[in-house]
Chain A
Amino acid sequence: MSQSDAEARRPAPAKAVRYARKTYWNEPTMTWWEKVYLPEVLRGIGITTGVFLRNMGKWLTGRRGAVTTYYPEERRADFAPRNRGKHVLTQRPDGSVQCIACNMCATVCPAKVIEIEPGFDANDPAHPKYPVRFEIDYSRCVFCGMCVEACPEDAIRMEPDVPNLVSDDRYNMWMTMDEMMTWRPQSDVAKPYPPKPVPLTRAPRPEGGAPSNP
């Protein structure tokens, strides 16, 4: 290979290309007034000062200048009707719990927060299984609603209202069956752990519903 060949094959010296920034389809466009920046700064400060003075006027005249709800003391009433909040257990016409302790909700629960202890009731051949304990650990519940979808008996539903378990202690955030069967938000947050034994709502059975949780 001769000298001239190598020179011919060498790429031509690159011309100085001016760097042009890529322009995007949603490139922000600013007028010169906005590019000066200072008037826009003053306008921004004007907006924030306006909001400040409006809210301050509300506070000084005894109204609330904020959209905040002080949560543990106050509960907002405008939850969406589809909001998934506190769980409730539905009841049969005689007041007994609809749940048949099939454990499907506890199985499908992604956070594994549902604990069910089944009992056996020979006097009720249609529903021989019933829950002795049905507890949910709200400190880990993710409120996904999959327990409601999994339930074959429509025994568990979710209220729009929040469970309202405000506590410094995660062991106070278990909700027991009797609380989930009272269809109203609970206001007391002091719950012992382990949870109190649940009193039976029905008449005592001859077999006694011995716990048989494997």
Chain B
Amino acid sequence: MSSVLPDLVMALCFIAYSMVMLLSFGGLLTWVERKQSAVMSDRVGANRAYIRLPFTNIKLVWMGLFHGMADGAKMLLKENFKPNAHDKVGYFLAPFVVFTPVLLVFAVVPFGGTIDPGALFPSLAAWFDGRTYPMQIAQLDAGLLVVFAFSGLTIIGAMLAGWSSENKFSLLGGLRAGSQMISYELVMGLTVMGLILIYGTVDLGSIVQQQSGTLLGVLPAWGVFQQPLAAFLFLTAAIAENKRLPFDLPEAESELVAGYFTEYSAMKLGPFMFSEFIQIAIVGALFATLFLGGYNLPFMNDAGFLLPGGREIALSQGVRIPLQMLTFLGKVALLCVLQIQIRWTLPRFRYDQMLGLSWKLLLPVSVANLVVTVLVQWWRGGGA
């Protein structure tokens, strides 16, 4: 019994950390999006919602941070409107089908290096019995495949919402979502193929560890330096997959009211909105893991730093674990800001342009990238 319990406790800790991290990212990004878009267009942004301290006249505004809570309260209190003719099962299932896979994707993303809880808390050393855990909910050999499997499920939710609402706008939005997400999923898979060839594995933990070396003597061996084109294509495809602004055809307001969630109101709309914001963080986490060295700073590994000159700086575990976790959070936060910046800069594509971009440009380029990678790897491996 004592052999299973520490594993269970650590797994629950990791799950709790991941859930809290993702949900707070989702909540905070609503505020970040409001404020960032305001600052970059000479506005002030949301700053009116406040919390009044009870029995006083002190109103806490905190730069509009409470607008997210006001949104949540609004969604809970609004009328739960249902269209008269709708497919009941699909209509009620769709928000959860959209929301759940987004959270599940994070299960295989490592957010810290290997932790040895026995060494970190000496009083628990006997209980943990010298076991070490990689900071990751599920350490799967098929990590990247799981990511694609789960992120592919959100298409079903979007199409289900569009189909079951019995609304032409919703149906068109669902159709658009389906064709868009499938075509960009293809690009995303092909771009990552090059990385799989280089690292020789789909286990995300191993991919991160292999990125802690050096490349050409000076550069960190990050995926973005080994596969710069793939990094760009992956980010493009991931934003398209998330249905954010240059690619938000499935919910284009000027054409489709709100696309596939037109008929959703009150808290049923919440999962759609929230999953979009969580997916920003997920895309950031995936991009950081695959292309930016994951939870490691440049030249850093689980033992410490190994600088290009050959100098080593050892780090104790008590310093390394928080540093790695903060590094991961910082990278994800920066990538979220980048995505929001892109979203508020670029105008929406026309629908044929968007599909053409995927099939005529991104797909051939990613195939070419893959062919070149294959040839280089073949030449590196001795050619035979």
Contacts and interface: CB of A to CB of B under 8 A. Distances in A.
Interface in B341-381: 341-342, 344-346
A51 B41 contact: yes
Contacts of A146: none
B342 A52 contact: no
Contacts of A51: 40-42
B40 A55 contact: yes
Contacts of B341: 45, 48-49, 52
A48 B341 CA distance: 8
B43 interface: yes
B20 interface: no
B38 to A, nearest CB: 7
> How many residues of B sit at the interface, in one of the four size bands?
10 to 19
> How many residues of A sit at the interface, in one of the four size bands?
10 to 19
A66 B44 contact: yes
Given A49-B341, A52-B341, A44 B346 contact: yes
B327 interface: no
A14 interface: no
A56 B341 CA distance: 14
A48 B42 contact: no
B36 interface: yes
A79 interface: no
A67 interface: yes
A66 B39 CA distance: 7
Interface string B30-48: 0000001011111110000
Nearest to A47: B345
B42 A56 contact: no
A70 B45 CA distance: 11
Contacts of A49: 40, 341
Contacts of B39: 52, 55-56, 59, 65-66
B220 to A, nearest CB: 23
18 contacts: A41-B345, A44-B345, A45-B341, A45-B346, A47-B345, A48-B40, A48-B341, A48-B345, A49-B40, A51-B40, A52-B36, A55-B40, A56-B39, A65-B42, A66-B42, A66-B43, A67-B43, A68-B42
Interface of B: 36, 38-44, 341-342, 344-346
Interface of A: 41, 44-45, 47-49, 51-52, 55-56, 59, 65-68, 70
